[in-house]
Every structure is written in structure tokens, then in C-alpha cells.
Structure 1
């Protein structure tokens, strides 16, 4: 791969106040971009000023939604070091999404190199305040200017950066989740295991109707009884002495935070089972006092406690509406590793600068 060319902006932006970042609202001065065509493969890697992208109105992405993306974060530690959490897993998953959407594979090591260089250029944008981070959005889309239902012959790969606060305005306070009884997000054999925009577009209707609830919990698309995932998170339940999370059967995103939580929990000696879990089993566990905790996991929210679950006419209060003991322990461990406040026992941290 060619060397990464760097063109710096002549009009740097004013950085937002760190106590009012929100999530995904502000963007840094620069972005990474490279192109693909059949003759050259991936080529012309460059860091350029952040700005609009010119596309032909017939670009494939507009008409056939051939697009994938990822989400990860850069963290600033107490000593000022900037580091990433398991970035290789994100780019491996990007390639899994690429494969399903017929998009050319990217080189994982080169992607980490390109991302690290972009962060070095934008290091002053990595916030310092507690609970903040630099959110990273790599994405690839088809841009061949032709109308025809077939894989594009041209693509763009871009990485943009966004200094962000907590994903939920309430921080670590337990969220309320609405179980969707009618609409479905994905089915086996589809694209549910990928990060592609269509999965999220089809979730908007249910989220719109779930008034008063932070997220929608999806059930399987065939029997509509087995729990899958929340819109932005994988989910875990503590039932008795067992920690349960839905199995990866092709319609659930293989979350990297999910994977990390499973590895941490098992290292602590917990029984973690990846299996099919019905909403009926959850309701029954709540009734007999066996449902102790529920939490979501994801890059944006890290670990998010769930205090209430609504399914049809049934409202389930979990952990007395408070954060559960295991949920808090996991959150502290994960964020501790990400910020180098705790030992990186698994070798998950990549230092950037």
C-alpha cells in the first residue's frame, strides 16, 4: 500500500466544550479517505480536511444501499496517552460485513496504521474529561455511477472522528427498554450480523413508536419469541447463577464489547451461556425472583444497566430500578482497562501516541 499523504486544513474549527459534547454531534478537522476500483484495488490513502463528498446522483449506494460501517473509540489516559481498545476486532468485523455486502476486503493492519496516523494528526481533539472519548466511524460505500443491481466496481473508504460524551444523557443510570412485538430487525440468512445502514433504517419505525423508552429490544424474525439484541447494544441477563446472552446465529451483531464481557466474566469464574433465550423465560424468571440483572453492551454505551423492560402489557422492574452489582463491576473493569486504570490482562490495548 502507498504511503498516506497528509493535507492539513487551513481553517481549523473551534473545539466544543467538553461538558457539552453529547454523542456524534461534532467532527474533527480531518478525515482519512482511500478509493477502490477494479484496476488499482485500494489506493490513494490520504488524510484531508473534513468536508463534503462529491458523488454522482447515480452512485450505487443511493439506490442499492451497498454500505458498511464500524464504531470504536480512542481514549485519553490520566498521563495523556491516547489509545485504542481492540481495534483489530473492529476491522476484522468490517471485513465480515464487507464479505456479506460484496465489498472488497481491507487490510486490517493498514487500517490500524491509517487510523493511528489520523488520530496523531487530530490528537488535540481527544477530550480529557471523565466519561469522554473520541468516537471513530470507519465506513465504506459503493460509488460507481451506474444504475444496475450488481456489486459496485468503485468504493470509498473513509474514517471520521467525533469527540463525544456519554451515549445516554443519563450516563450510567439504568435505561428503560421496550420489547418490540410486531416489527422485526433481521432474520437468519440476512444481514443482521453485519454493520450496514439498512439494519438501522428498518429499526427506526419501532424506535419512533417506543415513546418513553431509550431503546427497542428485538425478538427473532420467525417465531417472534427469542431475544436478539437492542438497537445499539447486545444484551445480557443474570438469571439465577447463570449469565445469559443470545447466541450468535446470524441475525445478531457479534459485538466486540459483548465478546470482551464474556471473556472477563469467564475469567472471574462466572457461568456464561450463549443460547436462545425467550421473552417468556425472562418474564418467568422475573416472576419467580431469578432475574437479578440485565445490561446492554456496545462501543458507544460500553455497559448500560437496564432498570425496566416492557413487553406488551407487562412491565418488568429489574434490580429495583438500580444498577446491578455485576453490571457495575463489569463497567468499572472495562472502562478501567480502556483508560489504563486497571491491568490489561488480555492484551487489548493499542497505544497510538
Structure 2
């Protein structure tokens, strides 16, 4: 389809390609399989292309005003759907200097969406899946993650889509392998009773039928010396991240709050666990996310923020804050104060 458009553009003059960044594409559809740099290298080597320029938003205004082309060439597929208004705006801008919109007929039977479906059927590699979560976080302000506890529930996460007339097709970005629901699926209490070997079998079952990145709920992470082996194993399989909570002793579900005895780990001990985990990983793509239980255990906002800062300094790639409250006020307050912290 794009080659057909380039052929039409060649007949009109020098061909400049406005190439969307990953962030621009992810703002209205799924993250592209190839990174911007990879796509740019391909397009630069297509016969008939004279120049490739970065397009940072789905709105063409910035590049149109910067380069003031005589013609803009785009397929007819954007006459309807979420880009209809973008098209109208582009035509209006071109008219300011007498530029024209040229729209070759959309090439039927060739679709990136269909290609995505076929690639999903083929599968992915551990390395590609592992790196995808960091790519998503780098280009999207918010990512959508849904829980799974076996291959069937993961397929639901993988294939669920919502058609939005304004924002286009929306879907989940990643899978959360929950220890709570996996324990429940095994008929066991949520006390780290399901061992790592059993949980790794679930990871493999899910990876057999999906291509989305996975965040692994690692409970407390176990003792620090064992945690390093967990990190290496998950990273080797292609898991993108592990989340561990700063509790010690017999793990109880956080939603019990102070109704049951729960012991929060010391800052020093938990930082050591994070540090050892980061040293154990092989790639820069794997992530360790620290989950803070201070609000659950009624230790206050200051304690939560102190721990967040310490965990980041220890090497944590992200912070998860947990609350038992029925409204969002406590979480939003933490997020507001967290933004003020001096990041590592």
C-alpha cells in the first residue's frame, strides 16, 4: 500500500516521507512491531524516497507548516474513522499556500492490522517480548494492563478490543500474572504457597498463546539470595518485569490491611533485595518494580514517600503504591507528592 503511494508521489516531484514516531502511532493504535529507527532505515532504502523526516504527532500541522509541500499524498483510508478530522485540517492548511491533497485509492487486502494478526499467530521471541514493556512506557503516558492466571484468561487479555470512533481501536498493552488469582485457580490461599516452578509453567502456558509483554507479580520476592535466581529465570523466559512488595514473613493478601498481622520489611533490607536483583539481570530491558505497603499498613504518606525515594536509589525501575481505601484520594495524593521527589 505504501509503495503504491510512493509511486504516485514520485510523479509529482521530490518525495519526502513524514514518518510517525512510536509515540505518535501508539497515541491512536497499537505500538508498531519495529521501532522508529528500524522503520526509518527501511524507508530510506526504498527506491523513490528522497528524504525521511520525523513526524511526532498524528496531526500533520507541524511538518506541513515547516516544509510547505506543493502536494501531500495520502491513501483514501482516512476519509472515515478517527483520522477524518485530521484529514480536513491538513487540507485546510495546504490551501493556505495553494498546496493540494492527492489521495490514491486505498490498496485493499493489504493492512497492518491483518499483518498484526498473522504475526500474533506466528508468535514472538523472548527478547522481543522482554523489551516491549519499556518501549510502551517510553511512548505512552498510560498503559493498560489486565490480570491473567492461565492461558485462557491471557487470551482474553490478548484479543479484547474496543472500537472507539474518536481514538480508534483500543486494547490492553500488557498482561499481569497475578499471584492472588493464580493461587485461587489452584485452590490455594494467597500466601506464596504456589511455588516458582508451578508459576513458571503458567508463564510458559501464557507465552505459548500470546505476544503481549508480561508483568509478573512476585509477592515478596522471597529471600534476597533466592530473588536473584528468580530475576534471571524470568528474564530468560522473556518476562518484562517483576513486582515485589516490601513485606516479610508469612505473606498475607494486602487487602486484609491491619486486620491480620503483617510485617513490613525494613528499608535497608528491601533496598538490598532490589539491588541484588538489578545486579543479577543480564539485559537493560528487564524491570524490577517496588510495591510499597505503607498506606495499607497505616504507616502514613511520609513513610511511603521515604521508601519510594530509597527504593529508586537502590535501582527500582518503578514504584507501585497500594491502598485499601474505597476512593482514589490517597493514591492521587501520593502521586502528587511522588512527582516532587528527586528521581535517581
Task: Give the strand-richer structure, 1 or 2.
Answer: 1
TM-score by length of 1: 0.28
TM-score, normalised with respect to structure 2: 0.28
Which fold has the larger relative contact order, with Cα–Cα distance below 8 Å and residues 6 or more apart in sequence?
1
More helix by share: 2
Higher-Rg structure is 2
